[in-house]
Every structure is written in structure tokens, then in C-alpha cells.
Amino acid sequence: MNAFDDTLAELVAVVEQQVLHIGELPQRLGELEAVSRSADGLVSVTVGFGGQVRAIELDPGVYRRMSSAELADRIVEQLGRAGAAVSDLAEELVAPLLPEGVRYGDVFEPDQINLNAFLPPGLDVSTR
């Protein structure tokens, strides 16, 4: 083999590795979850990738210590924190697979995936 063949073989190995990682991505994203517990320990939530609520745990004493509106606010607060944490985990998982110059937030927008982030400026796949 010559230097060109060696370089080509290295590039093929890198691409094959990337394809393997991309193929595993849906399963790995589906396994992500984050837990957030309120400072007083009365409310705990578990959130998966995409904001999927997997668990809400309430201390039995929560009903004696706060009103239903306060409890609702506390649950929503913990859901936001857990959702942000799982989003950070997803970014750590996906970022190494993105092309140079493409950020996770450019591709994974709230409630959608923006494929335009991979295109040169001026091209837009959403209008085709």
C-alpha cells in the first residue's frame, strides 16, 4: 500500500465508525433520562429525551405542606430542570457526530429537527 491507500483506508474507517455511532443514536437517545428533585425533597421527576415524563414522585407529606397550585408549580419547575438536563446529555451524545460548524441547537430545535442546518446558506429543504 502507498500513502494514498493508507489515508483512504483511515478515512473509510472513520466513516464506518461514524455510521455505526449514528445507527446507535436513536436507541441511545431513547435511553437518556434525567432526574430533578426539589430542594425540600418533596417532588422528584424523571424526564426522558424529547421531554417524555417517565416518573413523578411526591413525598406523602407534600399535600399537608403546600397548596395544589404550589405543588403544580413545583412539579413544572422540576420538569423544566430535568428536561434541560436531559437536553444537555443529548447534546453531549450528538455533538461529536455533527459536521464542523454545525451546533446541536441549530439542528435540534424545540419540537422539530432542522435539516437546513446542514445546508449552505440560501438553501432551504422546508420549502421544497
**pLDDT, averaged across the chain:** 84
Same domain, 114 and 65: no
Predicted local distance difference test score (pLDDT) of residue 70: 96
From residue 43, alpha-carbon distances to 56, 65, 83 in Å are 7, 12, 15
At 18, list the grid cell.
461514524
Regarding whether 114 and 126 lie in a shared domain, the answer is yes
Q: What is the CATH number of the domain that holds 31?
A: 3.30.1310.10
Structural domain including 123 reads 99-128
- Assess whether 119 and 103 both reside in one domain: yes
Task: State the DSSP H helix or E strand holding residue 58, giving kind and residue range, or none if neither.
Answer: strand 53-58
Q: Are 125 and 76 members of one domain?
A: no
Asked if 31 and 66 sit in the same domain, the reply is yes
How many CA atoms lie less than 13 Å away from 38 in the CB half-sphere? Answer: 20
Do 57 and 113 belong to one domain? no
Number of domains within the chain: 2
Higher pLDDT, 77 or 109: 77
- 16-36 pLDDT tens trace: 776 666 677 788 888 999 999
**Domain shared by 36 and 74, yes or no:** yes
Report whether 47 contacts 90 (CB < 8 A). Answer: no
pTM of the model: 0.72
Do 60 and 12 lie in one domain? The reply is: yes
pLDDT per residue as tens digits for the range 63-96: 999 999 999 999 999 999 999 999 999 999 888 8
By the 8 A CB rule, do 57 and 82 touch?
no
Sign of CA dihedral 107, 35, 92, 32: negative
- Answer yes or no: do 108 and 53 share one domain: no
Q: Which of residues 105 and 12 earns the better pLDDT score?
A: 105
